[in-house]
């Protein structure tokens, strides 16, 4: 079967077509866009600024979801012990969680990719050193590595990002290296080398674009696990400081009220976290299927 | 085989030394231990005495040597909070953590293996599809949040199970274990199940993939042609061949179960090593943190060594490729 090549039939449009071929993935994508919008626009769409004490009324504390406050406003998801609207707190928390997860993934991708390219292109001792370090680190579970780092450095936005980057870089380095090893032997790299291009240029302009597809998939999956890991660490009181209340901290805050039956303070931030992670996973799964060259051949 | 074993052991020892250096530098070089060890209103003479007593006036490499020497003797200093040896404090709580981890692994295998087999044998049935969909949740659900929800439903709303703690324990070989009493079992149930969730999903997926692959093999066709009953084919021929990867993964996952039990223990107030670590981090009880780090590094390197050796024993190809490279 030969398809007629039209102007619209670019690789990108084919990618879009394949991607949105699955209903589940489309659903995940729409969900993700909505979540991102909610996170970015939180200050504009949240019913109140949950951290502006002027807006909080202690008389409104621990209200059940849907209950009206004294001034007649309804709290859709209830309020916490400070009389804070949970919906607003979740929107603001989502913003912090997504920001931390995405930032750490981008930095880790940059570092892992550079080291992986270097290892794959240079070979020899450099490769052995980088890969050995990655191997040793991967022998330890991510949560343990992050926990140890945070135990030694203390909590803070910069510190948790450093911890999340440390946990992630090795995945990218290994994947990049294995693809780079295959690509390095191909003719276009040889041609580039014979042209006298600098190794840096060959690595980043010629080698890198061909190593990208698997990295995109891993990065997408890693954002979800980074968000989840940050929430876990913040829940344990080791991640973000109380001044940056992410979803994990909100859940942790509600934990003490859970025992007295006030489920909503922990429950709804958890649902927000869950929906975010699932939406990202749905999109990443579809990306993996679409970008997998083995499946494209048919 | 001997060369392979020796080489792996040497590698492990090298990693161990490297990690001890890392732990030492990060704990002793970053931040000043003197500030933590000596109270702010101590005079100069007192300061000098403590510095000399802890060997902090020695050059760094001498301190490292003593650190290693003491660590080999199992002496990691005294806890600031409990005023007892830090290593002893941890070893005292290790049985609770191990009990939790082993129970979680057992639950994961007992639930995961049959469900995975079912999903692999009848991939098109509704039950299998449900199993697979549910297993996706096992991967994406934030485990600590599931723990909270378990407490909410079973402890707060229904009141069937206790919210936390270890309950009554009974002695077995002089070590207290909770699973020997009914009360202890009730306390163990929720945390163990919570900890096993991820591994249930993992084992379901592995078993299903393995079963589907095994069913296409010639020896299964031959067994069918021989007229063996279905039960025997699945129970003996399929199961035997999918067990190798599952055993490996179970062994590998055991380490991360111990790591993740830090979270589960904090949620369910389980008096194990993980809760001790989190509490120690909160009050900056440094000797306990260092002792925990050293112990967990030793455990992990030992575990990885065991898995490597076990794997090379089960699959000779690993050994051969190593010998060539």
Q: Are A251 and A276 in contact (CB under 8 A)?
A: no
Give A110-128 pLDDT, tens digit per residue.
999 999 988 888 878 888 8
Percent of chain B with pLDDT over 70: 81
pLDDT, tens digit, for every residue of A117-169?
888 888 788 888 888 888 878 878 888 888 888 877 777 888 889 999 998 99
Tokens standing for residue A70: 């004294």
B21-52 residue pLDDT tens: 777 776 665 555 566 566 666 677 777 777 77
Contact A70, A60 (CB under 8 A): yes
Across chain A, mean pLDDT equals 81
Is-contact A112 A171, C-beta < 8 A?
Answer: yes
Residue of A nearest to B162 (CA): A259
Q: Give the confidence band of A298 by pLDDT, cuts at 50, 70, 90.
A: very low
pTM of the model: 0.80
Predicted local distance difference test score (pLDDT) of residue A105:
93
Between CA A103 and CA A113, with CA A108 as vertex, the angle to 5 degrees is 135
Interface of A with B (CB under 8 A): 136, 139-141, 143-144, 147-148, 151-152, 224, 228, 231-232, 235-238, 251, 255, 258-259, 261, 263, 266-267, 270, 273-274, 277-278, 281
* pLDDT at position B80: 67
Q: What is the pLDDT of residue A56?
A: 66
Over the stretch A31-44, which tens digit does the pLDDT of each residue have? 889 988 888 887 88
Find, in chain B, the residue whose alpha carbon is nearest to that of A228. B142
Asked whether the predicted pLDDT for residue A175 surpasses 50, the reply is yes
Chain B residues in contact with chain A using a Cβ-Cβ cutoff of 8 Å: 15, 18, 26-27, 30, 136, 139-145, 148-149, 151-152, 156-157, 163, 255-256, 259-260, 262-263, 266-267, 277-278, 281-282, 289, 293, 296, 300-301, 304
Average pLDDT of span B192-218: 86
What is residue A62's DSSP assignment? T
d(CA A55, CA A170): 45
What is residue A139's three-state secondary structure? coil
Q: How far is CA B126 from the centre of its chain?
A: 34
Does the structure show a pLDDT above 70 at B323?
no
Q: 3-state SS of chain B?
A: CHHHHHHHHHHHHHHHHHHHHHHHHHHHHCCCHHHHHCCCCCCHHHHHHHHHHCCCCCCHHHHHHHHHHHHHCCCCCECCCCCCEHHHHHHHHHHHHHHHHHHHHHHHHHHHHHHHHHHHHCCCCHHHHHHHHHHHHHHHCCHHHHHHHHHHHHHHHCCCCCCCCCCCCEEECCEEECCCCHHHHHHHHHHHHHHHHHHHHHHHHHHHHHHHHHHCCHHHHHHHHCCCCHHHHHHHHHHHHHHHHHHHHHHHHHHHHHHHHHHHHHHCCCCCHHHHHHHHHHHCCHHHHHHHHHHHHHHHHHHHHHHHHHHHHHCHHHHHHHHHC
The residue among A9 and B193 whose pLDDT is bigger is B193
The pLDDT value recorded for residue B107 is 92
User: pLDDT tens, B13-29?
Assistant: 887 787 777 777 766 65
Considering only CB atoms, B142 lies closest to which of A232, A255, A258, namely: A232
Mean pLDDT (chain B) is 78
Question: What is the structure's pLDDT at A73?
Answer: 64
Q: Say how many CB pairs under 8 Å bridge A and B.
A: 88
* Mean pLDDT to the nearest integer, A282-288: 84
Tell if the CB–CB gap between A274 and B300 is shorter than 8 Å. no
Token digits for B301? 């390197």
Residues in chain A with CB shorter than 8 Å from the CB of B278 are 236-238
pLDDT for A63 equals: 66
Chain A partners within 8 Å of B255 (Cβ)? 140-141
> Residue A263: which of B152, B255, B282 has the nearest Cβ?
B152
Say yes or no to pLDDT of A1 above 60: no
pLDDT at A58 over 60: yes
Digit-coded pLDDT (tens) for B253-293? 888 888 888 888 888 888 888 888 888 877 777 778 778 87
> What is the complex's ipTM, to 2 decimals?
0.75
CA A163 to chain centre: 14
Is the pLDDT confidence value at B192 over 50? Answer: yes
C-alpha to C-alpha distance for A126 and A136, rounded to whole angstroms: 16
User: B263 and A235: CB-CB below 8 Å?
Assistant: yes
pLDDT reading at B151 higher than 60: yes
Nearest CB among A235, A238, A263 relative to B144 is that of A235
State whether A152 and B304 contact (CB < 8 Å).
Answer: no
Q: Which helix (H) or strand (E) holds A181?
A: helix A157-184
Q: What is the pLDDT of residues A13-33, one digit of tens each?
A: 777 877 787 778 888 888 889
Q: From the list A144, A148, A258, which residue is nearest B148 (CB)? A: A258
Confidence of residue B305 (pLDDT cuts 50, 70, 90): confident
Lowest mean pLDDT among B177-186, B208-217, B242-251: B177-186
């Amino acid at each position: 079967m030969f398809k007629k090549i039209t102007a619209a039939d670019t690789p990108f449009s084919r990618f879009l077509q394949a991607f949105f071929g699955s209903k589940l993935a489309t659903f995940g994508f729409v969900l993700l866009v909505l979540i991102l919008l909610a996170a970015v626009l939180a200050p504009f769409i949240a019913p109140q600024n949950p951290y502006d004490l002027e807006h909080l009324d202690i008389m409104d504390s621990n209200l059940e979801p849907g209950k009206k406050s004294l001034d007649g406003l309804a709290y859709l998801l209830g309020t916490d012990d400070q009389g804070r609207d949970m919906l607003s707190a979740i929107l603001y928390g989502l913003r912090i969680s997504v920001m931390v997860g995405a930032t750490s993934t981008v930095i880790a991708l940059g570092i892992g990719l550079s080291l992986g390219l270097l290892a794959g292109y240079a070979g020899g001792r450099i490769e052995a050193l980088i890969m050995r370090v990655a191997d040793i680190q991967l022998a330890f579970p991510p949560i343990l590595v992050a926990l140890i780092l945070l135990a030694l450095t203390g909590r803070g936005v910069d510190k948790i990002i450093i911890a999340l980057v440390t946990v992630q870089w090795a995945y990218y380095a290994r994947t990049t290296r294995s693809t780079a090893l295959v690509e390095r032997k191909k003719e276009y790299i040889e041609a580039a080398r014979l042209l006298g291009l600098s190794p840096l240029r060959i690595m980043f302009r010629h080698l890198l674009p061909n190593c990208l597809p698997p990295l995109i998939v891993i990065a997408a999956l890693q954002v979800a696990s980074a968000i989840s890991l940050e929430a876990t660490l913040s829940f344990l009181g080791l991640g973000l400081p109380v001044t940056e209340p992410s979803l994990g901290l909100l859940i942790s805050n509600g934990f003490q009220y859970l025992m007295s039956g006030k489920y909503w303070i922990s429950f709804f931030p958890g649902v927000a976290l869950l929906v975010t992670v699932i939406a990202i996973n749905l999109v990443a799964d579809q990306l993996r299927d679409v970008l997998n060259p083995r499946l494209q051949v048919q | 085989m001997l060369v392979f074993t020796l080489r792996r052991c040497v590698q492990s020892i090298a990693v161990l030394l490297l990690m001890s250096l890392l732990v030492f530098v990060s704990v002793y070089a970053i931040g000043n231990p003197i500030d933590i060890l000596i109270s702010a209103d101590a005079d100069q003479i007192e300061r000098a005495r403590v510095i000399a007593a802890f060997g902090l006036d020695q050059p760094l490499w001498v301190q490292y040597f003593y650190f290693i020497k003491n660590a080999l003797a199992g002496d990691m200093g005294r806890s600031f909070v409990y005023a007892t040896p830090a290593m002893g404090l941890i070893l005292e709580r290790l049985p609770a953590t191990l009990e939790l981890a082993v129970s979680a692994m057992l639950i994961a295998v007992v639930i995961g293996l049959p469900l995975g087999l079912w999903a692999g044998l009848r991939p098109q049935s509704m039950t299998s599809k449900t199993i697979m969909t549910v297993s996706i949740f096992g991967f994406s659900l934030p485990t600590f949040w599931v723990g909270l929800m378990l407490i909410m439903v079973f402890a707060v709303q229904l009141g069937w199970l206790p919210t936390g703690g270890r309950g009554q324990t009974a002695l077995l070989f002089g070590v207290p274990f909770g699973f020997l009493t009914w009360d202890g079992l009730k306390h163990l149930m929720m945390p163990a199940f919570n900890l096993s969730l991820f591994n249930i999903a993992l084992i379901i997926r592995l078993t299903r993939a393995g079963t589907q692959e095994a069913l296409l093999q010639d020896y299964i066709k031959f067994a069918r042609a021989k007229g063996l009953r279905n039960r025997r084919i699945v129970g003996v021929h399929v199961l035997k061949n999918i067990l190798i990867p599952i055993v490996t993964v179970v062994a590998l996952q055991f380490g991360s179960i111990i790591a993740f039990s830090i979270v589960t223990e904090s949620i369910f107030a389980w008096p194990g090593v993980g809760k001790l670590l989190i509490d120690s981090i909160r009050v900056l009880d440094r000797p306990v943190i260092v002792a925990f780090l050293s112990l967990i590094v030793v455990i992990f390197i030992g575990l990885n060594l065991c898995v490597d050796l076990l794997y090379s024993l089960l699959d000779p190809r690993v050994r051969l490729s190593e010998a060539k490279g």
